[in-house]
């Protein structure tokens, strides 16, 4: 009789294992049968037979696991070989950010900043070799609790010169290096906590808005059918599309704006072309002419001298004599595609609301899933719009104008001084001056305008440099005006401390200083301590909060945290350039667009609009493609670069992570290791779009 644990059906179940290796054949493994459980009551011969069968099955299972392990090792090896090949191509090509003619940084400033990073790198390598030698000579310390009593108890007669040097090095760092380093770390920790509290309050404000379903509602639902015109609110609206050498996207923006659902007699579209490329100028002129033939009220303007960049372009357009006939102006950058009902959902908010100067809408991104870089940008900008802009708009009626996808009351622009070319953030400049004049802003989170994210790290890096140097320029210029302005003390505090200092200056300062300089240095000066909650827990919590507006991006929370710290070097450099008015802070580089979705979006817009519009737009696609093919030979070759500052910081962090192993600091080691790898990938330009270029 079989024991209780052998009762029931144990019929053999076939398990088919397919080996990918052609040297292996298909094998059938049987599941345990009843005989396998009756070893005690079976004859010796049967028992040996069962053992042999079990051994055979075990052998095949082990072979299967070995095969899987070999496949995993092959995949890892292939990845490393591909990585090594890419690195060799980067080095062989020799293109770095230093020899870029169109670099967004002043050469002297950039070299000085890079030299400072190199000093920390060489110092860390020297100290690491020193610490390795001390470790093998028996100097084992558990950071940060160093026992000075052991050092002081060493006899006067030292074993050798190395012990004497290392002992004095430890005493020097305890007495002279650790205190200032710990003080700077504590200052950065305080700033980190203040900024984290600000981020938490913003998230709570966003949660309250969602809970109470707070939403700006126009005082007058003013849009009836276009044909009836009864009880309608159709003021005169000026549309401006500033662009400069953006042949990849001009067609989709013009088509989208010309498809806006608004009476043609009450709208004028200005295409403000600052292009210095004759072919681009010709293409844009042809596109404008074709829409004019279709009945669109659209004009083409070109400046010979590109003074003041975008601000100068907008200022020149506003000086036209016919502008006085218009009450509102909507601005769209060249890659933006407003939906046909854009004006109907924004302009009515101005009705019976004379204090309202700006209606800003949210951006959405047509290429947010193209690569890792665009996914990470989507996380950042989703938080910016849904949390920062929405909360500030609801509770304060002030936020920074995003430069596009917004509608201004022309009277507010004129009373605030109009567009000024004094900074590279003309959008933030006019918003600050309008707020000081008492104008209110509204942010519409439910009205989206499609646009394109930069897909290459080079373009994103230049964009971030401009976005973080400009606010510091503006802060220096606007501080006296803010202090003298006749607004409440709370609004002055919000603008000076929260808007400028905390979010534009303190954030890049502590991000770079704390995680890229102080943390690695504490590995070599272990008497200065950074708690684990500063290194891991709070940053992880803040990343979690940042990613909430983009819940589909949760799998990228760790890359997001690492990439934000990696970008801190660019943002810190830009902040310093703008604060001290260095040369690179005044450079304007147009963000490169690729027009990934231009053809599909154009077709969809044409299908929604009148059929006669399609006739004027479709033939131009073939013509443009032919023109672009002819230009391919004269175009500049696209290529990836090596970013020296990011690479230097990568080696600094990786060296510090190796040093942390000697002190058995687990969390610090993993953070430094993965952060160093992140800097390495960015330094080799392995994030974002990859160009296949052979070295010359």
Strands 14-17 and 27-30: antiparallel
Backbone angles phi, psi at 441, to 5 degrees: -120, 150
As a 3-state breakdown, the chain gives helix, strand, coil percent values, each rounded to 5, of 60, 10, 30
Instruction: Give the pair of three-digit tokens for residue 424.
Output: 């590279």
Q: Are 641 and 683 in contact (CB under 8 A)?
A: no
How far is Cα 595 from Cα 607, in angstroms, rounded to an integer? 19
Closest by CA position to 407, among listed 223, 292, 257: 257
Catalytic residue, from 97, 104, 273, 274: name it. 274
Q: What is the residue whose two structure tokens read 């059918």?
A: 225
Closest by CA position to 501, among listed 474, 541, 535, 466: 474
Residue 274 a catalytic site member: yes
Catalytic residue, from 427, 429, 601, 685: name it. 427
Q: What is the residue whose two structure tokens read 């610090």?
A: 668
Instruction: Give the pair of three-digit tokens for residue 263.
Output: 């009476």
Q: Are 347 and 237 in contact (CB under 8 A)?
A: yes
Buried b (16+ CB within 10 A) or exposed e, 242-270: bbbbbbbbbbbbbbbbbbbebeeeebbbb
Instruction: Give the pair of three-digit tokens for residue 567.
Output: 């970008």
Instruction: Give the pair of three-digit tokens for residue 668.
Output: 């610090």
| Alpha helical stretches, state H, 632-694 | 644-662, 666-683
- Size of the chain in residues: 696
Q: Are 668 and 537 in contact (CB under 8 A)?
A: no
Peptide bond into 144 cis (omega under 30): yes
List residues bridging with 29 in a β-sheet.
15
Instruction: Give the pair of three-digit tokens for residue 680.
Output: 């390495």
Please provide the DSSP assignment of 163-187 as one string: HHHHHHHHHHIIIIIHHHHHHHHHH
Which long-range CB contacts under 8 A does 607-613 form with residues at least 24 apart? 608/259, 608/340, 609/259, 609/340, 612/294, 613/258, 613/259, 613/294
How far is Cα 566 from Cα 555, in angstroms, rounded to an integer? 19
Q: Are 612 and 262 in contact (CB under 8 A)?
A: no
Within 10 A of 117 (CB to CB), how many other CB atoms are there? 20
H/E segment holding residue 302: strand 298-302
In angstroms, how far is the first alpha carbon of the chain from the final one? 82
Q: How far is CA 109 from the centre of its chain?
A: 24
DSSP state of 361: E
Q: What is the residue whose two structure tokens read 């900024």?
A: 195
Q: What angle do CA 116, 119, 122 make, to 5 degrees?
A: 150
Residue 427 a catalytic site member: yes
How far is Cα 345 from Cα 406, in angstroms, rounded to an integer? 11
The two most distant CA atoms of the chain are separated, in Å, by 110
Query: Could you give the residue numbers annotated as active site?
Result: 274, 427
């Amino acid at each position: 009789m079989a024991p209780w644990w052998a009762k029931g059906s144990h019929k053999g179940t076939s398990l088919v294992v397919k080996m990918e290796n052609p040297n292996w054949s298909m094998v059938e493994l049987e599941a345990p049968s009843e005989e396998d459980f009756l070893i005690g009551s079976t004859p010796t011969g049967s028992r040996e037979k069962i053992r042999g069968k079990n051994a055979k099955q075990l052998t095949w299972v082990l072979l299967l696991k070995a095969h899987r392990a070999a496949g995993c090792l092959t995949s890892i090896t292939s990845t490393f070989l591909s990585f090594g090949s890419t690195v060799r191509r980067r080095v062989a090509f020799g293109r770095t950010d230093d020899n870029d003619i169109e670099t967004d940084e002043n050469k002297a400033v950039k070299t000085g900043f890079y030299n400072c990073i190199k000093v920390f790198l060489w110092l860390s390598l020297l100290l690491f070799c020193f610490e390795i030698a001390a470790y093998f000579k028996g100097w084992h310390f558990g950071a940060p609790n160093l026992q000075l009593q052991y050092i002081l108890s060493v006899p006067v007669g030292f074993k050798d010169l190395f012990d004497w040097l290392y002992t004095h090095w430890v005493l020097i760092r305890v007495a002279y290096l650790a205190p200032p380093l710990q003080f700077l770390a504590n200052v950065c920790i305080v700033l980190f906590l203040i900024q984290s509290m600000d981020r938490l309050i913003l998230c709570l404000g966003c949660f309250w808005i969602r809970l109470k379903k707070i939403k700006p509602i126009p005082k007058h639902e003013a849009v009836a059918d276009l044909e009836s015109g009864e009880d309608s609110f159709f003021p005169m609206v000026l549309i401006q599309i500033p662009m400069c050498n953006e042949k990849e996207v001009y067609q989709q923006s013009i088509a989208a704006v010309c498809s806006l659902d608004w009476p043609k007699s009450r709208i004028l579209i200005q295409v403000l072309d600052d292009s210095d490329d004759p072919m681009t100028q010709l293409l844009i002129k042809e596109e404008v002419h074709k829409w004019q033939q279709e009945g669109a009220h659209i004009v083409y303007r070109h400046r010979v001298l590109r003074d003041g960049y975008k601000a100068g372009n907008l200022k020149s357009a506003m000086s036209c004599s016919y502008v006085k006939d218009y009450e509102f102006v909507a601005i769209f950058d060249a890659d933006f595609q407003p939906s046909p009902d854009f004006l109907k959902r924004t302009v009515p908010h101005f009705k019976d609301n004379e204090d309202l100067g700006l209606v800003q809408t949210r951006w959405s991104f047509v290429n947010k899933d193209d690569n890792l870089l665009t996914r990470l940008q989507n996380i950042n900008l989703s938080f910016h719009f849904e949390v920062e802009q929405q909360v500030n708009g609801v509770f304060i009626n002030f936020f920074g104008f995003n430069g596009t996808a917004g509608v201004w009351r022309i009277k507010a622009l004129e009373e605030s001084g109009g567009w000024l070319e004094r900074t590279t953030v003309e959008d933030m400049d006019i918003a600050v001056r309008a707020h000081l004049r008492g104008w209110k802003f509204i942010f519409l989170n439910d009205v989206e305008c499609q646009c394109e994210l930069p897909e290459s790290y080079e373009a994103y890096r230049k964009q971030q440099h401009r976005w973080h140097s400009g606010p510091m320029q503006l802060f220096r210029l606007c501080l006296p005006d803010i202090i003298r302005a006749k607004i409440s003390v709370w609004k002055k505090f919000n603008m000076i401390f929260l808007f400028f200092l905390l979010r534009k200056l303190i954030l890049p300062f502590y991000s770079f200083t704390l995680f890229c300089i102080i943390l690695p240095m504490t590995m070599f000066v272990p008497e200065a301590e950074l708690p684990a909650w500063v290194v891991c827990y709070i940053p992880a919590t803040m990343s979690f909060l940042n990613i909430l507006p983009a819940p589909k991006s949760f799998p990228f929370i760790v890359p997001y945290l690492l990439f934000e710290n990696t970008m801190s070097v660019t943002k810190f450099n830009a902040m310093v350039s703008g604060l001290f008015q260095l040369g690179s802070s005044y450079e304007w580089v147009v963000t490169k667009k690729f027009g990934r979705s231009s053809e599909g979006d154009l077709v969809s817009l044409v299908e929604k609009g009148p059929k006669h519009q399609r006739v004027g737009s479709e033939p131009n696609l073939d013509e443009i493609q032919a023109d672009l093919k002819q230009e391919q030979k004269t175009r500049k070759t696209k290529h990836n670069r090596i970013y020296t500052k990011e690479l230097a910081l990568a080696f600094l962090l990786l060296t510090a992570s190796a040093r942390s192993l000697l002190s058995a600091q687990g969390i610090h080691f993993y953070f430094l290791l993965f952060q160093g790898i992140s800097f390495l990938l960015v330094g080799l330009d392995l994030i974002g779009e990859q160009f296949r270029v052979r070295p010359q």
